[in-house]
């Protein structure tokens, strides 16, 4: 059951829709978990399964009644929406899903004029739900409901980065910043860990798409953190051509972009 956040009625209503959509999508996905699926490849080479498609259909069915456009990874015709709209990844971490890891999730964000103002991440395999809006964020799991709050600096930096997309620049980042705790992790759950304070930064120095990050970015913002484009030093915005993001780093409060040494990168890192 959703514990309503103390924010405007409109955002509360939309948050309730997003949480319902994420949970229903989880129910649509899980019957496929652990069975042999034959994925096809999308244009970018990433896998597409019947689980992705079932989740997409479920989310669209739930969110359609809000009257807002729905931009989904699985519907290229929707990608031109602007203003206020939903930005959705129906199944983030398809590779983890296929390998029967629990590190996959449903990502739903609300974008307003390029900014992520509401986010929901749901990991159905472990029944972990993260959501945030208007300066408040919470986690619901089998152990109850907990506020996500800012924490003090760690004694040593801890990072999480992509398990499926390791890269030279992240390895260099760990050396430059004397990282001693490094967790390879699948899907946008990295941003959930960032919001709850179990990691301090999430460098993403290979190409990614807006729906991979927006929901987690919104939740991280609610606890004082941010996700910054390394080329500009400015927070990520959404609504780009092709929905591709620049290289970026997410971090929790009280860290700032200037706290990190960013390695030099070339077009090959994109």
142 with 237, same domain: the answer is no
Q: For 13-36, what is the mean pLDDT?
A: 95
Same domain, 166 and 262: yes
pLDDT at 2: 46
pLDDT tens profile 90-143: 999 999 999 999 999 999 999 999 999 999 999 999 999 999 998 999 999 999
CA atoms in the 13 A half-sphere facing the CB of 155: 0
Q: What is the pLDDT of residue 9?
A: 56
**pLDDT class of 166 with cuts at 50, 70, 90:** confident
The pLDDT value recorded for residue 3 is 43
Whether residue 5 has pLDDT greater than 60:
no
Q: How far apart are CA 158 and CA 161, in angstroms?
A: 10
Task: Please tell me whether residues 195 and 89 are part of one structural domain.
Answer: no
What is the pLDDT at residue 270?
53
- Where is average pLDDT lowest: 162-176, 207-221, 255-269? 255-269
Contact 93, 105 (CB under 8 A): yes
Asked if pLDDT for residue 47 goes beyond 80, the answer is: no
117: in domain: yes
| Domain stops at, among 147, 182, 201 | 147
On whether both 105 and 62 belong to a single domain, the answer is yes
Residue 142: which domain range?
9-147
Q: Give the torsion sign (CA, 215, 219, 222, 227).
A: negative
Quote the pLDDT of residue 8. 53
The Cα diameter of the chain in Å comes to: 49
* CATH code where residue 168 lies: 3.40.190.80
The mean per-residue pLDDT over the stretch 210-218 comes to: 98
Residues 106 and 227 grouped into a single domain: no
Residue 27 to residues 39, 41, 88, 125, 262, Cα–Cα distance (Å):
20, 24, 16, 10, 40
Say if residue 21 is in the same domain as residue 134. Answer: yes
Picking from 147, 174, 207, the residue at the C-terminal end of a domain is: 147
Instruction: Identify whether 4 is part of a domain.
Output: no
Judge if 216 and 140 occupy the same domain. Answer: no
Residue 228 has pLDDT above 90, yes or no: yes
Work out how many domains the chain is built from and give that number: 2
- Average pLDDT taken over every residue of the chain: 91
pLDDT of residue 262: 96
Q: Is residue 72 part of a domain?
A: yes
With a threshold of 0.85, does the pTM exceed it? yes
- Token pair recorded at residue 111: 């974008």
Residue 15, domain member (yes or no): yes
- Do residue 55 and residue 81 come from a single domain? yes
> Do residues 19 and 142 share a domain?
yes
Last residue of a domain, one of 91, 123, 147: 147
End-to-end C-alpha distance for the chain, whole angstroms: 40
Q: The tokens of 169 are what?
A: 């620049």
Q: Do 83 and 197 sit in the same domain of this protein? A: no
Instruction: Please state the rounded mean pLDDT for residues 217-228.
Output: 98
Domain co-membership, 13 together with 106: yes
Is pLDDT at 1 greater than 60 in this prediction? no
Are 134 and 55 found together in one domain? Answer: yes
Least confident range of 34-48, 70-84, 188-202: 34-48
Pick from 241, 159, 168, 166: which is nearest to 201 by CA? Answer: 159
């Amino acid at each position: 059951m959703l514990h309503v956040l103390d924010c405007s009625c409109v955002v509360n209503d939309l948050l309730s829709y997003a949480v319902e959509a994420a949970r229903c999508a989880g129910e649509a996905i899980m019957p496929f978990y652990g069975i042999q699926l034959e994925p096809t490849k999308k244009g970018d080479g990433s896998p597409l399964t019947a689980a992705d498609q079932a989740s997409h259909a479920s989310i669209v069915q739930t969110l359609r009644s809000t009257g807002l456009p729905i931009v989904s990874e699985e519907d290229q015709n929707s990608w031109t929406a602007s203003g206020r709209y939903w930005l959705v990844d129906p199944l983030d971490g398809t590779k983890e899903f296929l390998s029967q890891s629990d590190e996959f999730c449903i990502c739903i964000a609300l974008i307003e004029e390029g900014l992520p103002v509401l986010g929901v991440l749901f990991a159905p395999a472990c029944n972990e739900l993260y959501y945030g809006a208007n300066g408040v964020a919470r986690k619901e799991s089998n152990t109850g409901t907990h506020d996500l709050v800012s924490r003090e600096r760690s004694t040593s930096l801890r990072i999480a980065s992509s398990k499926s997309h390791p890269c030279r620049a992240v390895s260099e980042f760990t050396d430059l910043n004397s990282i001693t705790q490094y967790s390879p992790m699948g899907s946008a759950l990295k941003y959930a860990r960032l919001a709850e304070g179990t990691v301090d930064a999430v460098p993403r120095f290979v190409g990614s798409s807006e729906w991979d990050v927006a929901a987690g970015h919104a939740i991280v913002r609610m606890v004082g953190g941010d996700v910054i484009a390394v080329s500009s030093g400015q927070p990520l915005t959404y609504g780009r051509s092709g929905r591709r993001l620049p290289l970026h780093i997410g971090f929790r409060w009280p860290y700032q972009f200037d706290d990190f040494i960013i390695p030099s990168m070339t077009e090959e890192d994109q």
